[in-house]
Amino acid sequence: MPRFAFDRDQVIQVLWNVALNGVEAMNGRGRLSLEVARQNGDVALAVSDTGPGIPPENLRRVFEPFYSGKPNGSGLGLTIAERIVAAHGGRIEIDSAPGHGTRGDAAVPARGRAERLAQPAGRDDRARRRGARWPCCSASGATV
């Protein structure tokens, strides 16, 4: 696995939020798997569970703020996970089908901060260059 810059606490939060959904969906019975791999220049993180799965009508809403399929859910876990992954320049997807469990896949660029800054500026990159805090290089930033 290549070394890559990220905010350790934020990546832990992403894994926690996605894994907690899986654990709660399985009601203490089933299997939760975590995977890390290099894919197409990204670091890929995956969390899979053997829970009941998510119906298609609910699956398209899982990243909506305050939407939850759980009776006491806040509806913020996956919203926060999506925003953290996006702040790292990545993407996150949830794949699920009733009766077949759920898999959350996140991918963040393996390129370092200096390489990202050298890329052509998009709207968000221009804001960062003007002095906005770079999310992957905060005081709690880490390199794996």
Does residue 75 or residue 100 have the better pLDDT?
A: 100
Question: What domain range is 118 assigned to?
Answer: 5-134
Q: How confident is the model at residue 3 (pLDDT cuts 50, 70, 90)?
A: low
Residue 77 burial (10 A CB sphere; 0-12, 13-18, 19+): buried
Check which CATH number belongs to the domain holding 85 and give it: 3.30.565.10
Global confidence as pTM: 0.72
| pLDDT over 80 at 139, yes or no | no
94: in domain: yes
Question: What pLDDT was estimated at residue 72?
Answer: 82
123: in domain: yes
65: in domain: yes
Q: How confident is the model at residue 40 (pLDDT cuts 50, 70, 90)?
A: confident
Question: What pLDDT was estimated at residue 117?
Answer: 40
140: in domain: no
- Report helix, strand or coil for 20: helix
Is there a contact between 16 and 34 (Cβ–Cβ < 8 Å)?
Answer: no
